Amino acid sequence: MEKTLYVSDLDGTLLNRNSEVSESSRIILNRLIVENDVMFSVATARTPATVVRLMSGIKTSLPFIVMTGAGMWKNGLINRCYMKPERVEYLLGVCRKYGINPFLYTYNEASGALDVWHGLEMNGYERDFMRQRTGTPYKKFVISDAPPTGIAGRTMLLFAAAPYKKVSAAYSEAQKRLPCSMTCYHDIFDSSTGFFEVMAEGVSKAAAVKRLAADVGATRIVVFGDSPNDLSMRSVANLFVAPENASKEVRDVADCIADNNDNDCVARWIEADVECRACR
C-alpha cells in the first residue's frame, strides 16, 4: 500500500504573508492528519525556537526538520549533525581574518534548548537578531569574549551576518578548503548585508527528508518549496510542488505549480491529492 510523506518549507510556502499558518490551513491539515492518516512535516532553515510556536496548532506526530536539516525536533532536538571540531576552529579563524563575528549553534541536552554563542563585539544587525530571538525556552544566547571550552565539538551551525563583501570573501576561502555544507547570500531587505551559513558535510533538507521518509516507511514523497534552498529536496521527491509566488528559478523546475502561499496552497494541494488518490 502506498504511503505518502508530505513535507513543506515554511516561509513563502506553508506560511502566509503574515508569517503564520492560516486558520484554514490548520483546519484542513488537521482533518487530513486525523481522518486520512496523512503524514505531514516541515523542512525549514528556522530553529525550534520559532518552528515549535508556528506549528503548535498542527496535530502531526512527525518530527520537524529544522536548521536546514542539521537536526529534527520532536520534544527535543534529534538526529543532530555536528561539524568536526577542527573545521569549526578553521572557520573561526577565517571569520576573524575578515572581521566577522559569527554565531555558533550548539545543543544543550540538559536544558533541551539551543545554546547560541557569540563574542562580545556585535554589529547592529547582530544585536537586533539576538534581541528578536531572546525570551524563548528553546534558545539561549551565550555572550562571552571567547568561545566556551569544547564548543567546536558541539557546533551544528555557524551563522554570520556582516557586509556582503566580507562574508563573500570568507565563503570563497572556506569553500575551497572544507567539504562542509555552506552558503552565502544577500539579505533580501538590504543587499549590502550578507549571510554566511555553514553546517556539517552532507547536511541538507534533502538528506533529512530522505531519512524521515525511511523512518516512517513512506513509499512516495511530495515536497513543497518556494526558494532555491528548497531545491535540494527535489532530488529525493517523487513530486516537487512550488507555490505560484515561488522564485522563477524554482517555478521553472517544479513538477507542479500550486496557488500562492496566501491561499492555503500547501493544505489545499494535499487535500486535492488525497481525494484524487482515494478515487483510484
Looking at every residue in the chain, the average pLDDT score rounds to: 94
In the prediction, which pLDDT does 39 show? Answer: 98
Question: How far apart, in whole angstroms, are the C-alpha atoms of residue 7 and residue 65?
Answer: 9
In the prediction, which pLDDT does 135 show? Answer: 86
Question: How far apart, in whole angstroms, are the C-alpha atoms of residue 50 and residue 66?
Answer: 10
Q: Which of 6-15, 106-115, 263-272 has the lowest mean pLDDT?
A: 106-115
Question: How far apart, in whole angstroms, are the C-alpha atoms of residue 252 and residue 237?
Answer: 16
Q: How far apart are the first and last CA of the chain?
A: 13
- For residue range 58-102, what is the model confidence (pLDDT) as tens digits? 999 999 999 999 999 998 999 999 999 999 999 999 999 999 999
Which uninterrupted H or E stretch holds 26? helix 23-36
Mean pLDDT of 41-56: 94
Residue 280 above 80 pLDDT? no
Which uninterrupted H or E stretch holds 48? helix 48-54
Which uninterrupted H or E stretch holds 249? helix 248-251
Question: How far apart, in whole angstroms, are the C-alpha atoms of residue 68 and residue 72?
Answer: 9
Instruction: Give me the domains of the chain, ranges plus CATH numbers.
Output: 4-79+204-278 (3.40.50.1000), 85-199 (3.30.1240.10)
- For residue range 155-168, what is the model confidence (pLDDT) as tens digits? 999 999 999 999 99
Contact 233, 225 (CB under 8 A): yes
pTM (predicted TM-score): 0.91
Residue carrying C-alpha cell 551559513: 197
Helices marked H in 58-180: 85-97, 124-132, 164-177
Residue 278 above 80 pLDDT? no
Residue 279 above 80 pLDDT? no
Residue 262 above 80 pLDDT? yes
